[in-house]
Amino acid sequence: MRNIQIPTQTSPVDIGVDSHTSVPKPPWLKVRFPTHGDFFRVAGTLKKNGLHTICQSARCPNVSECWSARTATFLILGNICTRNCAFCAVNKGTPLPASIEESRHIADAVSALGIEYVVITSVTRDDLADGGAGLFAETVRTVKKMNPNAKVEVLIPDFKGDETAFGRVIESGPDILNHNLETTELRYPSINRPRENYQRSLQVLKKAREMGALTKSGLMVGLGESEDEIMKTLSDLRDVGCDLLTIGQYLRPNKGNIPISRYYAPEEFEGIQSRALGLGFKAVEAGPLVRSSYQAHKMFHSIRQGF
């Protein structure tokens, strides 16, 4: 990957300087304001069912594109996380009790919106004995029961490495099990995670693959990682059998979050994608605005014939 010089000024079509950093955002990070009717239909359905999405909680830049296509990534177990990762915009603190009604409300929303590929994720709930695995499993079963043709991808936390917990999720029958590694091992302290959690997450993916799950992971770049670190991380993921990968640009959501080290250009993402595919990943989505569930349905359908 070649070194890309960051522009010192923005043109009238750029989205300008991030309010939380002095580094100007490049023009390829420009996103459109939502105007499509389906965007507002999704918003209304979510509100009616009292549902949270990671699209809102994590301030995803693709919310307009995805909601306009009538897709959303549902957030279960409430919207308050028990961990304090330095990159994340999700609220942190003491969560409210989990509600079993979330699973039915999500299934109702899937039916109302005609969603054929459902992505379900959660905040991390270290306060719960099973980390929320039981509600994950119940949500997958309920969505599939009420929407027999729907495919379901789950994006799970690490459940503190508890095999019984993520085993329950796998037994519920998700079509893809996603667990994000997030960044390179050396960057873990900078995102407020112990370095040993890197190996824990790799083991979650390894054990899930051994249990028969089709596994997927995601990485952010722009946190100060080197090219060698990226390549080692890709190799580590392949060593545990991870077949699907997303790679996107880290964008600082708030002043309290870790600053951006630099912006990667689109051609750099193309280079990383090419090298990842060369290592044996079956499918890779890489780009400035790519997130964990971005184009998830297309990625699934592109590879399922091979499994």
Give, for all 307 residues of the chain, the pLDDT tens digit.
433 332 322 222 233 334 445 567 787 676 665 555 566 666 666 666 666 565 554 455 555 555 455 566 788 998 899 999 998 878 889 988 888 888 998 998 888 888 888 889 999 999 999 999 999 999 999 999 999 999 999 999 999 999 999 999 999 999 999 999 999 999 999 999 999 999 999 999 999 999 999 999 999 999 999 999 999 999 999 999 999 999 999 988 888 899 999 999 999 999 999 999 999 999 999 999 888 877 778 888 888 655 4
How many whole angstroms separate alpha carbon 270 and alpha carbon 291?
A: 15
Number of H helices, E strands in the chain: 10, 10
pLDDT of residue 276: 97
Structure confidence at residue 78 (pLDDT)? 85
Distance of CA 16 to the CA centre of its chain: 25
Assess contact for 198 and 178: CB atoms under 8 A: no
Torsion sign, CA atoms 178, 219, 188, 251: negative
Determine the Cα–Cα distance for residues 71 and 197; give it in Å rounded to an integer: 31
Report the CATH number of the 33-306 domain. Answer: 3.20.20
The three-point CA angle 259-265-269 to 5° equals 100
DSSP 284: E
275 contact partners, CB below 8 Å, separation of at least 6: 231, 234
DSSP 82: S
- The pTM for the full model equals 0.84
Q: Residue 220 is inside which H or E element, if any?
A: strand 215-221
Paired residues of 74 in beta bridges: 53, 120
**Widest CA span of the chain, in angstroms?**
53
The pLDDT value given to residue 8: 29
CA distance 65 to 33: 9
Domain residue ranges in the chain: 33-306
- The dihedral region occupied by 131, where left means phi > 0, alpha psi between -120 and 50, and beta the remainder, is left
pLDDT at position 300: 86
User: Alpha helices of 147-251 — where are they, by DSSP H?
Assistant: 163-171, 196-210, 227-239
CA-CA distance, 25 to 134, in Å (whole number)?
41
CB 75 within 8 A of CB 88: no
C-alpha neighbours within 13 Å on the C-beta side of residue 165 = 19
